[in-house]
Amino acid sequence: MEGRKRVLLKLSGEILAGDERFGLSRRPIDEICAEISEAASSGVGIAIVVGGGNILRGTQAKDLGMDRVQADQMGMLATVINALALQDALERHGAPARVQTAVNMGSVAEPFIRRRAIKHLDRGRIVIFAGGTGSPFFSTDTAAALRASEINADRLLKATKVNGIYDKDPVKFPDAKFLPSLSYSDVLDKRIEVMDSTAFVHCMDNKIPNVLVRMVERGNLAKLLLKGESIGSIVS
C-alpha cells in the first residue's frame, strides 16, 4: 500500500441503514465517516461512490411494474440523498466534503466535472459521487469503476458485509473457503457476484486493483489505509 495517493471507496446504501435495513441510521454513518475522516486527515485522497439500496433500487422499482429507465432514475435520486447525509456527517467530523452528481441538480450539489473533482481531492477535500453514471442500466458498482479510472485512483475499495470473497456463499455453506487474492479472470470465469461483471471488466481493462473491505467491523478502513494491513480480498 505504500506510495498510494488516491482511493475510491464504494459504499452500499444498505451499510448506511445499519440494522434498520431501510433509511438512514446515525450510528453506522458516524462510525464510517469517523474512519474516512481519520484517513483523509493523514493525507490519503478519498473519493466515494454511494449506492441507494437503503432507500430504493432501480431493480426494485422495476419489480413493481415501473418502466426500467424511470425506475433507475429513481434509484439515482436515492443515491443523492445518501451522498448528502455522508457529506453532513463528514463535515461534522471535521472533513471538508463535496458532493458531485451525474444528474443535474445545481441547487443541491455540483455537477460531475472530472477536473474539478481532482482539484478538490488535491486540496484535501473528500469527493462524494452520486447519481451513478447518470444513465440507466448501469449499477453504482460500474459508476465506482468508472469514477476510479477518471480520477486516476490507485485502488478501488468496496465495502461489504462479509470478510471478502469466498468460493461459495459463506452464509449458506460453513465450509466456504476464503480467497485472499484473485485475478479478474478468476472472478469473471467463476461468476463471483461481489461486483457486477461490467465493473470488473472496466477495472481489469484499466488495471485498477479492487479490494473488498468489511466495513461493519470498526477500524478496518483505518487498518488498510493507515497501517497497510491486509484486509479482505484483493482482485487484481
Separation CA 197–CA 68 (nearest Å): 20
pLDDT above 80 for 3: no
Beta strands 155-160; 97-101: pairing state: unpaired
Please report the sign of the dihedral spanned by the C-alpha atoms of residue 99, residue 207, residue 134, residue 23: negative
Q: Do 36 and 97 contact (CB within 8 A), yes or no?
A: no
Separation CA 49–CA 41 (nearest Å): 19
Residue 150 lies in a domain: yes
11 phi and psi angles, rounded to 5 deg = -110, 130
User: Tell me, what's the pLDDT at 93?
Assistant: 96
Kindly report, residue by residue over 43-60, the tens digit of the pLDDT.
889 999 999 999 987 777
CA proximity to 231, closest of 152, 191, 178, 176: 178
Residue 100 lies in a domain: yes
- Going from the C-alpha of 38 to that of each of 35, 156, 217, the distances in angstroms are 5, 18, 16
pLDDT above 70 for 42: yes
| Grid cell in block for residue 12 | 452500499
Residue 1 lies in a domain: no
List the CATH number of the domain containing 39: 3.40.1160.10
Total of domains in the chain: 1
Kindly report, residue by residue over 202-212, the tens digit of the pLDDT.
988 999 988 87
Q: What is the CA radius of gyration of the chain?
A: 17
Query: Which residues span the domain enclosing 180?
Result: 6-235
pLDDT-based confidence at 228, cuts 50/70/90?
Answer: low
Mean pLDDT check: name the lowest of 4-13, 48-57, 101-110, 183-192: 183-192
